[in-house]
Structure 1
Amino acid sequence: MRSMLPALLMTSMASIPAMAAVAHNDPYIWLEEFSSPKAMAWVKSHNNKSTSLLELDSRYKTLYQEALAIGSAKDRIPMPSFLQGEIYNFWKDSDHLRGIWRKTSLEEYRNATPHWQTVLDIDALGKAEGKSWVLHGIDCFQPDQRLCLISLSDGGEDAAEIREFDLTTKQFVKDGFHLPRGKHRVTWEDKDHLLIATDWTKDDLTESGYPFIVKRLARGQSLDQAQEIYRGNKNDGGYGVTPTTLRDGQNNALTVIERPLDTFHHQSFVLTKTGIKQLPIPDKASLVELVAGRVILSLDESWQNGSTLFSAGSIVSIDLDALLQSPDQLKARLVWQPTAKEAFNGLTSTKNRLLLSILDNVQGRAIAFTPTANNQWTAETLPLPDKLAIELGSSDSQSDRAFIEVSGFVTPSTLYLADTAQDKIESVKALPPQFDASKDVVEQLEATSTDGTKIPYFVVHRKNIKYDGTTPTLMTAYGGFQVSNTPYYSASIGKLWLEKGGAFVLANIRGGGEFGPAWHEAGLGTKRQIIYDDFASVAKDLIARKITSPRHLGIQGGSNGGLLMGVEMTQHPELWKAVVIQVPLLDMLRISKIAAGASWQGEYGDVNQDPKVRAFWERLSPYHNLKQGVKYPEPFIFTTTKDDRVGPQHARKFAARMEEMKLPFYYYENTEGGHGSGADLKQTARTQALTMTYLYRKLL
């Protein structure tokens, strides 16, 4: 180990002058001061210039009205959650822009127009307290399901205030648990104790801005009285140390603490009678559920467990009692293993069963697993429609019922209620068509990337399309963090784009999870160019098929997808006429200095410590690779001031660099909204209308 120190120190020291040079040569560092008067004056000026042009377009008003009508429509499916034997739902409409939390009975929920009782009104709460509250989460203690932790964000940012709420009284608990604004990680240990990771002092955060110390807080204690039970390291990567309590339908419990090493690797610890114990499992394995006394693990890398090798992407189980008795000697059993075209997509549990959502060539399937003797499992595929997206909804820990949503690009969502104990599944809600899809068809096609790999993609277009390259086409992808993009029903895309004759393309490029961990790992770090090649290859395939052409092809993506858009714009300006860059990452050399950017080094690599990573992003970072004299498409750059995850700084600096080069662009920064399109329905509708107006101006 000692022999490695000089080399490590040299790498570290060598990176400091380079980073200093970047900062010194960057004329737009001042735009990183996201709320300074100078920066906000710049934002206001550019907002006014862009919105005045777009909102004066004759199409804008209609697009805004359509987007708002879609977002506030009364006939949407009220997505349900099982709680206290009733059905709860969080709902937004034109009368409740920030939303109401409400409840009804299951029988009443089956009706076309259920009678709802309001539990918590977020609009009224914000008005009474003079805050721009956005509901960020609800966590109710099991099995009582009476006391809940309510997370409230001011303006939509990731940081939130947490308060204890009583479902019986419909009031916040007087002198109950309360955490001030922060990026908290909280779980119920029992009714009177919370396990909390937060910024206990200003120094108790990682370089990414996330907590690394877990403490136990008893009811009635002040935060400074909480007792430390676990400490990670200030240099930890990822999203912060996270405590979680898993419970099953028999009220067995297991407290888990994850300590992130980077974005995807973490150590797993469990709380036993003799203290915190680390589990001997891979760093890319997660304890995700507890079912009938079995601990469920999701494997994102292979695991040699004794004489058994479990492949990456598999789901396995371990007996809870055995784990607690001998946490250093685990014996796992296989629950599910993917084939070459399959991938794990999500899971949940009921009182006695595990429900799994998988992808089969990017098509959805749901499987119910029942535990049997000797920690074995039996499987039954649920009878749901084929070739559609399947998303698991709320499940009931007091029965074997669960809601499942099924939808497709031109197939409105249907909500099913599955009772796996009775082998019964029924449709309980169906979304009426939100746009006319009678003239459209969905195809799944393949493009060949630069290394010969086949890249699947979906295209939705008119049945009578003319293959002459004139169809206005909007293409999107994400390509990162093992996030899978599957077919989905979007009323806004359908009404505002497809219904008016446009085509829509969803590319399943590498970096995502559509084909399991290997599909993601193919584009990690300095291998990332293949992700961008995949996307460009799909575009070239569309053009070769004469579905569209560069004159009529636009692309859109947000967050990591915004980085994708920035790279595609700078690498292939000849392929696109329109580029929508939303809440993006664009300055990849200062990413660790902006918002939570340091937490994603597992995905992008560390430009501060690894010369190869730095050299890679010097060639690809969109902010640094805009060039004078190149004819780029005129992009629409969108961000939000309240985005404390990625930060508005990337978008601002990219726009400023374009302005310096006298390159045209549209820029819009919403002053609220967090890492999204808006904090309420009107803000979201405005963002959608501005975006679509831009696309029509460019692609028709």
Structure 2
Amino acid sequence: MIARFALATALAAVATPLAAQDTDAEDPYIWLEEIQGERALEQVDEWNAETEAVLTIQPEYPVAKAWAKQILDDTRQIAMPSAIYGDQVTNLWRDAENPRGIWRITSLESYRAGNPEWRTLIDVDQLGRDEGESYVWHGANCLAPDYERCLVSISPGGTDADIVREFDLNTGEFVEGGFTLPQAKSNVAWFDRDTLFVGTDEGEGSLTDSGYPRLVKLWQRGTEFAQARQIAEGEQADVSTSGFSVLDGDTRWRFVNRSPSFWTNRFELVREDGSTVAVPLPEDAEFEAVLNGQVIAKLNSPLGNERPGALLAWPLADIMRGSAPAPVAVFRPSESQAIEEVASSESKLWVKVLDDVSGKLIELTPGAGGWTQREIALPANSTIQIAETSGKGDTAFVTVESMLSPPTLYAVSSEGEPVAVASEPAQFDASKFEVVQKFATSKDGTQVPYYLVRPKGAEGPLPTLIHAYGGFRAAQTPKYLTAEPYRSGPLSLFWLESGNAYVLANIRGGGEYGPRWHEDALREKRQNSFDDFHAVADDLVAQNLTTPGRIAASGRSNGGVLVGAVANQRPDLYGAFISGSPLIDMRRYNKLLAGASWMAEYGNPDVPEDWAFMREWSPYQNMRDVPGYPAAFYYLSTLDDRVHPGHARKAAAKHEAFGQTFYYHEYREGGHSVGADHEEDAKRAALLLAFLNREIGSEADTQ
């Protein structure tokens, strides 16, 4: 889509140059922040229509859409465990006939044997039809140890705000007169069978500046919520406050957590009477699990002689009595390792470790002499994820995959070898491609790993798509190419099948090497993340694997900051970028929806010292009317109540005013994940492929 000038009238009334917008008064596009504003939605509809008019007529579009839908709806997919409830397993199943999903249950025995006999609990599509809503499943929390009663969360349109209802797992029905909460960004958990921890929107003063619950109350069955007793509260500037419980053997440990910032938490144990006692975890430690009467947490800063990244354990009984016991070491990762996932079963702790971004699974066992460890024999050089663990018995279900090998689900027990339970079928001929891990040298000398996939035997430079995230301690691990990280399935596969190259870059800001990798891109160090991305692109050019102008940058959410910044900084290097559900205007992000919760990551733009460094890389403020600016594609959802749609809308308006090439696609629902079902995901994958081919692929030469 070549930029048009539909906003000329609005621009004519603005005297301030577009590139100088540091205050709200200088921004001519504030009106696009009206999420459901008539004028804003008219503009969205116009951009959507223009994008579809250009891309849906490309010859690859119908083929890619049909193929993507076939892959996403494949009934041979693994029925991943949503949760293990005693001797039963639940799963949410989505396919062509059930686009929103069926929540169902089977016995653990039949599931492990690979022959589950499913019983439907909730048909999400049918529930939506019955109630006249477009429901999206948000999960269930069933009360241990009998797992009879569950708190089910469903979201109209896929927003983070959801509806909570009590459900009876035995009868398969919602509980008449049971616990229910209207749509809100609530924090709800079981205290006991007849009592809930609840934090929700109660009107003025009940939410933080980030839009999450500030208060925690105990709500007794059979009473009005107005009678619920408050047991904890946070401050207005906090991110949120919540309550939860963990069953450890026969003991139920209850907690409340106040989060002053995105990266800090203050935990307290809750007694039966609702009174609390502080848990002496460092504020920046991550609460991971409770096992054998101990709370296990991961350090993010030094504690005594323990380095960041280590797992430590504190005895809860001593804490409940009011003492402050010294922690004991559970696991210490090496310099090349990072702990990415931790889960507990009945008597074991399961730890997924990244070692130079490859996965390993460690089983840890508490004992009188300390913690013993065993590395599980799983395929090397793979991505491993802990899917679920059993509350009774010691079984972990884990998936193993790589870019060229589809996922296999293994049942890993404390005795014997891992057993393959299910595998997804191959969706493409992997022999046509090759994957290699490389390292680029960033501006400050840091070695940045990345995975490069190319058609086997290809010589010389190829158009290349680079995807990265670079924030919030979230590591980017290589997954099967039909599920790479676009929320649209197989884009990277389609791009490779077209004869191009794909890169997954492990830039700083993520958790690939533990806390230090994240901290090196926090706040005033954010430029390191962008420099890492540039380094990967430059490294590919230096090896004659691609050429400037034939590189597309891709990122979602926080990745919107990334791709917007790198496009502004190096328009000579990139020919296009894909920006999904993006953060872009960092001057106003803390005033939009959940934005205030991320100030510990980026900085507070209302503090002059913070804005001084944020101003250097904020994508919106640094957009320029320069020749050869990379073509942009923004995809998002109107109902995203996490990252405001105004970010992408305002960026698109600037591109239009500058006469720059941009494409725009905003679904009406779907929330932060954008697509509400496989049909929408398949369409987006096809649109993105057509965009890449048109702008940096071989077809771009003929445009």
Q: Same fold (TM over 0.5)?
A: yes
Distance 1:226 1:663 in 2: 55
Deviation at 1:543, TM superposition (A): 0.8
In 2, are the aligned partners of 1:552 and 1:577 still within 8 Å (CA)?
Answer: yes
Deviation at 1:20, TM superposition (A): 11
Which stretch shifts more, 312-321 or 127-136? 312-321
Amino acid at match of 2:226: D
Question: Is 2:629 the partner of 1:627?
Answer: no
In 2, are the aligned partners of 1:187 and 1:244 still within 8 Å (CA)?
Answer: yes
Amino acid at match of 1:660: A
Distance 2:584 2:614 in 1: 10
Deviation at 1:280, TM superposition (A): 2.9
Question: Is 2:465 the partner of 1:474?
Answer: yes
Distance 1:172 1:230 in 2: 29
Amino acid at match of 1:476: H
1:620 match: secondary structure: coil
Alignment of 1:57-96 (within 5 A): 57-80=58-81, 81-96=83-98
Alignment of 1:63-462 (within 5 A): 63-80=64-81, 81-109=83-111, 114-236=116-238, 238=239, 240-248=240-248, 250-272=249-271, 275-304=275-304, 309-326=305-322, 328-373=323-368, 376-420=370-414, 422-462=415-455
**What residue in structure 1 maps to residue 13 of structure 2?**
none
In 1, are the aligned partners of 2:450 and 2:506 still within 8 Å (CA)?
Answer: yes
In 2, are the aligned partners of 1:164 and 1:178 still within 8 Å (CA)?
Answer: yes
Residue deviations 1:334-385 (CA, integer Å, cap 9, x gap): 00011111101101111111111011111100011111115x1111111111
1:43 match: secondary structure: helix
Residue deviations 1:32-75 (CA, integer Å, cap 9, x gap): 11101111111111111111111111111111101111110011
**What residue in structure 2 maps to residue 593 of structure 1?**
591
Deviation at 1:278, TM superposition (A): 2.0
2:615 match: secondary structure: helix
1:551 match: secondary structure: coil
- Structure 1's unaligned 5+ residue stretches are 1-18
Distance 2:588 2:315 in 1: 45
Distance 1:692 1:643 in 2: 23
In 1, are the aligned partners of 2:507 and 2:533 still within 8 Å (CA)?
Answer: yes
Amino acid at match of 1:428: V
Residue deviations 1:603-653 (CA, integer Å, cap 9, x gap): 0010112x1221222222111111123320111111110100001100000
**What residue in structure 1 maps to residue 54 of structure 2?**
53
Distance 1:361 1:527 in 2: 22
In 2, are the aligned partners of 1:677 and 1:687 still within 8 Å (CA)?
Answer: no
1:619 match: secondary structure: coil
In 2, are the aligned partners of 1:268 and 1:286 still within 8 Å (CA)?
Answer: no
Distance 1:346 1:585 in 2: 26
Distance 2:94 2:129 in 1: 16
Amino acid at match of 1:431: E
Amino acid at match of 1:582: G
Distance 2:22 2:646 in 1: 19
Which stretch shifts more, 484-493 or 411-420? 484-493
Amino acid at match of 1:358: V
Residue deviations 1:400-459 (CA, integer Å, cap 9, x gap): 112011111111111100111x23421111111111111211111010000011111111
1:441 match: secondary structure: strand
**What residue in structure 2 maps to residue 38 of structure 1?**
39
Alignment of 1:464-543 (within 5 A): 464-466=457-459, 468-469=460-461, 471-491=462-482, 492-493=490-491, 495-543=493-541
In 2, are the aligned partners of 1:641 and 1:670 still within 8 Å (CA)?
Answer: yes
In 2, are the aligned partners of 1:596 and 1:645 still within 8 Å (CA)?
Answer: yes
Which stretch shifts more, 515-524 or 290-299? 290-299
1:423 match: secondary structure: coil
1:220 match: secondary structure: coil
Distance 2:317 2:592 in 1: 44
Which stretch shifts more, 175-184 or 201-210? 201-210
Distance 1:20 1:580 in 2: 23
Cα 1:189/1:452, change in 2 over 3 Å? same
Distance 2:567 2:504 in 1: 18
- Structure-2-length-normalised TM-score: 0.93
Distance 1:299 1:527 in 2: 21
Question: Is 2:660 the partner of 1:663?
Answer: yes
In 1, are the aligned partners of 2:603 and 2:614 still within 8 Å (CA)?
Answer: no
Deviation at 1:107, TM superposition (A): 4.3
In 1, are the aligned partners of 2:633 and 2:664 still within 8 Å (CA)?
Answer: yes
In 1, are the aligned partners of 2:86 and 2:391 still within 8 Å (CA)?
Answer: no
Deviation at 1:323, TM superposition (A): 2.1
1:235 match: secondary structure: coil
Deviation at 1:86, TM superposition (A): 2.1
1:464 match: secondary structure: coil
Distance 1:461 1:535 in 2: 19
- Structure 2's unaligned 5+ residue stretches are 1-19, 483-489, 699-703
In 2, are the aligned partners of 1:458 and 1:506 still within 8 Å (CA)?
Answer: yes
2:207 match: secondary structure: coil
Amino acid at match of 1:393: A
Deviation at 1:92, TM superposition (A): 0.5
2:535 match: secondary structure: helix
Amino acid at match of 1:504: Y
Query: In the comparison of the two structures, how many residue pairs are matched?
Result: 669
2:399 match: secondary structure: strand
Identity of aligned residues (%): 38
Distance 1:20 1:636 in 2: 22
Distance 1:318 1:572 in 2: 48
- Structure-1-length-normalised TM-score: 0.93
Cα 1:202/1:686, change in 2 over 3 Å? farther
